[in-house]
Amino acid sequence: MGAASPDIGLYIHIPFCARKCRYCDFVSWPGMEDAWEPYINAVIKELEQKSEMARQRRVVSIFLGGGTPSLLPGSAIQRIMEAARKHYSLLPDTETTIEANPGTLDHDRLRAYREAGINRLSIGLQAWQNHLLEFMGRIHKASEFDEAVFMAQDHGFSNINADIIFGIPYQTMEDWLETISRVLSCQIPHVSCYSLTVEEGTRFGKLKQEGIWPEPDEDLEREMYRAAIDVFGEAGFEQYEISNMAKPHYRCRHNMNYWLRGEYLGFGVAAHSFFNQARFANTPDLRLYMESVERGNAALSEYYYISNEEALSESMILGLRLTEGIDLDELSSVYRTDVRKKYGKKLADLAERELVELNGSVVRLTKRGMDFANQVFVEFI
């Protein structure tokens, strides 16, 4: 919880995509093929440069996110993984995930991933209806998700996640239930369900600013969320975090490490790290990132040390995302402060509003709290 294990995660950011989705506010760019090679070289160099820091640490998880990492040739991913292996001490069963889009996976890439030691795929389905995919600016067709999953299973991948989104304008409950049933028919052990958030600076954000965004129905959104938890639950999935459900033994270790405030190092443009009680991030400027690494400098755009007070507040917010909740007595001993006393009034108020429930020393979100989680988190900022 607070005194996390000495094990760490590695996050590697691949900022390239085939086309920018209309809701995406991640640091990523389409059509930059010329930058691929120098960028990969920079990431490999950064892996080497930061390895001193992690000398005494074991790596329990690696996550290649983006962008669309599966856009790169398999050999590029192999080179990145070789560098990680060479400079860090990976556990024999390190969970190693790559994000992929349907339509970008093929036999050569999957073969290369297996050889590189990647053992988990996270595939962005988002919705099963082609008109919704088109509306969101996705470039794949729904049927390509099935193809990608079956191909991956052929190559021996059993640990596969699907990302799906609800609360999309024009999405009906029937659409949502169809998406869920298609995911279930693929026999995969993990699913992440997100509600569509409209971020500033995205195509959708612009529509909202101009007042022409078709606001989805909030009640329907909540019903969709409930339906997902129920239907996946009946199929043997356990909801272990607000947006994540898994079959037994298939929780995402990399994300669990985030929620438990474990440490991790980030590599690549705009990548974030949390290490030795500090949070820091690389510059989101691609050229500046590559030039800094080339010169052997840290490419940081921010660095701040986390005080004990902030750490406790983070532990509350992150820990409440988990369905198991948080043990206040445990937190009190980690932070040497009476957490129950400190947050007593807030917790009592949240319990009265039926947003959290206290069971002994464990506090967790109620079903209603899951729906209005941000109202809860705001209390601990």
Q: How many CB atoms lie within 10 A of CB 277?
A: 12
User: Which residue in the block uniquely carries the two structure tokens 């509306």?
Assistant: 135
Q: Is 239 found in the same domain as 181? A: yes
Residue 311 in 3-state DSSP? helix
Q: Is 176 found in the same domain as 51? A: yes
Nearest Cα to 320, choosing from 304, 335, 331? Answer: 331
What pLDDT is stored for residue 198 in this prediction? 87
Tokens of 122: 């996270």
Cβ contact 339:332 at 8 Å: yes
User: Which residue in the block uniquely carries the two structure tokens 């030039």?
Assistant: 291
Q: Residue 167's pLDDT band (boundaries 50, 70, 90)?
A: very high
Q: Is 353 found in the same domain as 231? A: no
What pLDDT is stored for residue 2 in this prediction? 42
Cβ contact 144:103 at 8 Å: yes
String of b and e for 146-166 (b: at least 16 CB within 10 Å)?
bebbeebbeeebebbbbbbbb
What pLDDT is stored for residue 49 in this prediction? 96
Tokens of 303: 């660095």
In a domain, 268, yes or no: no
In a domain, 279, yes or no: no
Q: Is 319 found in the same domain as 250? A: no
Residue 325 belongs to domain spanning: 308-380
pTM: 0.95
244 bridge partner residues: 192, 241
In a domain, 289, yes or no: no
Mean predicted confidence (pLDDT) in 59-65: 98
Q: pLDDT tens digit string along 72-131?
A: 999 999 999 999 999 999 999 999 999 999 999 999 999 999 999 999 999 999 999 999
d(CA 79, CA 10): 15
What pLDDT is stored for residue 11 in this prediction? 98
Q: Residue 3's pLDDT band (boundaries 50, 70, 90)?
A: very low
Q: Is 341 found in the same domain as 226? A: no
In a domain, 292, yes or no: no
Q: Is 335 found in the same domain as 219? A: no
In a domain, 294, yes or no: no
How many structural domains is the chain composed of?
Answer: 2
Predicted confidence (pLDDT) at residue 138 exceeds the cutoff of 60: yes
Cβ contact 129:166 at 8 Å: no
